[in-house]
Structure 1
Amino acid sequence: MLRFPFNRNKWDPKGKHCYVTGGSQGLGLSVALLLVKLGADVSIVARNEDKLRAAHAEMEKARQLPSQILRWYSYDLSECKSSEAALEAASEGHNGRCPDALLLCAGAAVPGFFVEEDETSMRKGMDNGYWVQAWSALVRAGAKRMVRENKAGKIVLVSSFLGYMSIMGYSSYAPAKHALRGLAETLRSEMLLYGISVHTFFPGTIYSPGYEAENKSKPKITLTIEETDGGQTPDKAAEGLLKGVQRGDFHISADLLGNIFRSSTRGATPRNHVFLDEIYSFIGWVILPIWRRSVDSTIKGHRQEHRSYLAEKGLLS
């Protein structure tokens, strides 16, 4: 009874063609496997062919129906032409028809101090965090193809908890995730013209291979700040994402803290719940200033150690 509006139909992926980027590992693979178990035709895309083959083998084990079409494609999605070619290839396996749902899970983070970033790393941050999804959503094979085919499809972008706020260490990553939120807000409005629904997922820490990779460059102080973040497995995050998509939520959060930040920074975004969002917002009004002061205090306490680090790196005169 807390849902709003009350008459939303639950989306069923059974028999639909779902296109999943970043599908070779982590969240993308978990989303793909869950869709397979729900009876969908699934195409996964990533760069590493060995990981894609392994992921495809897992999909075959999860197959529910002999008629399900399960395929993998190796493409670099940070480039527009390559993203278009990937979706064209996936469409060819379905009589040239565009997928019914684009679930864009590809992305990567390389944390570090802003004073150590350069043009290359900042541009790469936007490529890996924004363009890797934006190209798939917008090129001729994405939203444009859905419009041309008059398909009332779904576009699901994966932002991050850092699309609502940010902390030190994510200067090359958080801007891309904020940009995805801006893109989603715009697409949600514009796609109403065509009956295409848009959703955005804002997960916190996901214990995936990507998380292990980003921790290699993550500043020590950032790791300290994140110690209280419980995190989720890829399977748990995928479950939260798909439940939100099935309900028709625009902004999707899969845990309590995410819902608090979502409700506290909602703006004109549609509510997910009539009453719960107000409760989340009130909790945020009380605890978020306390949390922010705690984070700021932790960072200030790290100043001397950080100056020593900068001196060792030759960044101080």
Structure 2
Amino acid sequence: MLAPLLLTAAAVGASTLLIVVWTMFSSKRWDPRGKHCYVTGGSAGLGLALAILLTKKGADVSIVARNEERLKQALEQLENARQTPNQVLKMYSFSLTDASSSAAALEAASVGHGGKCPDAVFLCAGAARPGFFVEEDEVSLKQGMDNGYWVQAWSALAAAKRMARDRFPGRIVFVSSFLGYMSLVGYSTYSPAKHALRGLAETLRSELLLYSISVHIFFPGTIYSPGYIEENKTKPKITLKIEEGDEGLKPEHAAEGLLNGVQKGHFHISGDLLGNIFRASTRGASPHNNVVLDAVYGLIGWIGLTFWRRGVDGTIKEHRREHVEYLAQKDFFISKT
């Protein structure tokens, strides 16, 4: 009775090892050198850091954002990172919060390359405005989805249509967040958008196989960027307290993690150990990055995240009295009728 079980276990182990070895040595890394890379949100933070990194890797880079002055400053940084005189480095000022302007921005960047669609579209645009859900309204909830979901979804739609129509095997890369795997107090206008991006990426990874288009999604933790400074201006005290031990990443380090994941062909990309633990613990039917490592990360998460969540919930409960006093000072409990 024991022998068949041992043989089965050995067969499973051998098969797993073969899969890991095959993955390690058979996959060819994607090289951005000479490729046209389109980066939204390219004037600051992760988008700018990624654009600079791609430039250093020898790519042609188009950056897109609303603020033209910041775009000019960003383009100067790209020029300083130029590797060859033949690299094409350009900036485009567009708002990406609606379908028509997002399509127009991609079209402008394509025209700058003889009408050819970008080889890779990196969707780094986005913003967060944390706060308590009971203080939100129709405008702020819609704005959260515009800034966190639609600003990437519209560009993805334009890119997918163009790549499919041109039969072009490009890459579409979304940027979600840790908060696309889980969430906590203060992120009611932000986390839903990041979860929605995961849903879109999961769908497109499947559907765009029809056109040989690769899809990736990045789930970074805190990135110390200008956007982080802005979001802290409205972030509740309890949220700041929960996050006070978060070491965070510099935009340059986050960009390296993102690009490394794309080069390896990973679908879900995490920039550090904690991100990998969350990824493996909530993977569902998403592809493994590494069968063995993901099993280890999943085991760590199964044990560790249980205690982490209990600690977070306890901290929030301890904040109840202070929160009630905060709402009372804002006349929240006074009827507005």
CA distance, structure 2, for counterparts of residue 4 and residue 158 of structure 1: 28
Instruction: Show CA shifts across 1:262-312 (max 9, x none).
Output: 000000000001211000000001111100000000000000000000000
Q: TM-score, normalised by structure 2?
A: 0.92
Work out which of the residue numbers 23, 29, 45 in structure 2 matches 1:5: 23
The alignment partner of 2:155 has SS state of: helix
Alignment partner of 1:24 out of 26, 43, 61? 43
2:316 counterpart residue number: 299
Q: Using a 3 Å threshold, how does the CA distance of structure 1 residues 3 and 316 change in structure 2: closer, same or farther?
A: farther
The question of whether the paired residues in 2 share the 8 Å contact of 1:4 and 1:273 is answered with no
* Mapped partners of 1:3, 1:212: distance in 2: 43
Runs of 4+ in 1 over 6 A off after TM superposition: none
Residue 42 (1) aligns with residue 58 (2):
no
> SS of 2:23's equivalent?
coil
| Correspondence for 2:278 | 261
Corresponding residue for residue 312 of structure 1: 329
The alignment partner of 1:180 has SS state of: helix
Contact 1:4 1:272 in 2 (8 A): no
Query: Which residue pairs with 1:110 in the alignment?
Result: 129
SS at match of 2:244: helix
Does 2:73 align with 1:54?
yes
Matching of residue 235 in structure 1 with residue 252 in structure 2: yes
Q: Secondary structure at the match of 2:63?
A: strand
Structure 2: how far apart are the matches of 1:285 and 1:99? Answer: 40
Runs (5+) with no aligned partner, structure 1: none
Q: Distance in 1 between matches of 2:138 and 2:245?
A: 32
Displacement of 1:5: 2.5
Match of 1:173 among 190, 207, 210: 190
Report the 3-state secondary structure (helix = DSSP H, G, I; strand = E; otherwise coil) of the residue aligned with 2:291.
Answer: coil
Once residues 295 and 48 of structure 2 are traced to their aligned partners in structure 1, the CA distance between those partners, rounded to angstroms, is 34
Question: CA–CA distance in 1 between the matches of 2:204 and 2:274?
Answer: 26
Q: Which residue of 2 is the match for residue 148 of structure 1? A: 165
Deviations 1:39-74 (A, max 9, x none): 000000000011100000000000001100000000
**What does residue 91 of structure 2 align with?**
72
Q: Percent identity?
A: 68
C-alpha distance in 2 between matches for 1:274 and 1:225:
32
How far residue 4 of structure 1 moved from its aligned partner, in angstroms, is 6.3
Provide the rounded CA distance (Å) in 1 between the counterparts of 2:238 and 2:208: 41
SS state of the match for residue 275, structure 1? helix
1:197 corresponds in structure 2 to: 214
TM-score by length of 1: 0.98
SS of aligned partner of 1:102: strand
Deviations 1:197-243 (A, max 9, x none): 00000000000000000000000000000012110000000000000
Partner of residue 263, structure 2? 246
Q: Tell me if structure 2 keeps the 8 A contact 1:78–1:128.
A: yes
Alignment partners' CA distance in 1, 2:212 and 2:258? 21
Distance 2:21 2:46 in 1: 26
1:182 aligns with 2:199: yes
- Quickly say closer, same or farther: Cα 1:3–1:128, change in 2 above 3 A: farther
Deviation per CA, 1:109-159, whole angstroms, max 9, x where unpaired? 0000000000000000000000000000002xx111001111110000000
Shift of 1:3: 6.5
AA aligned opposite 1:93: G
Please list every run of 5 or more consecutive structure 2 residues that lacks an aligned counterpart in the other structure. Answer: 1-16
How many Å separate the matches in 2 of 1:17 and 1:147? 17
Amino acid at match of 1:29: L
The equivalent of 1:133 in structure 2 is 152
Letter in 2 for 1:57: E
State the Cα deviation string for residues 184-209 of structure 1 (Å, max 9, x = none): 00000001111110000000000000
- Residue matched to 1:288: 305
Over alpha carbons, which structure has the higher Rg? 2
1:163 matches 2:186? no
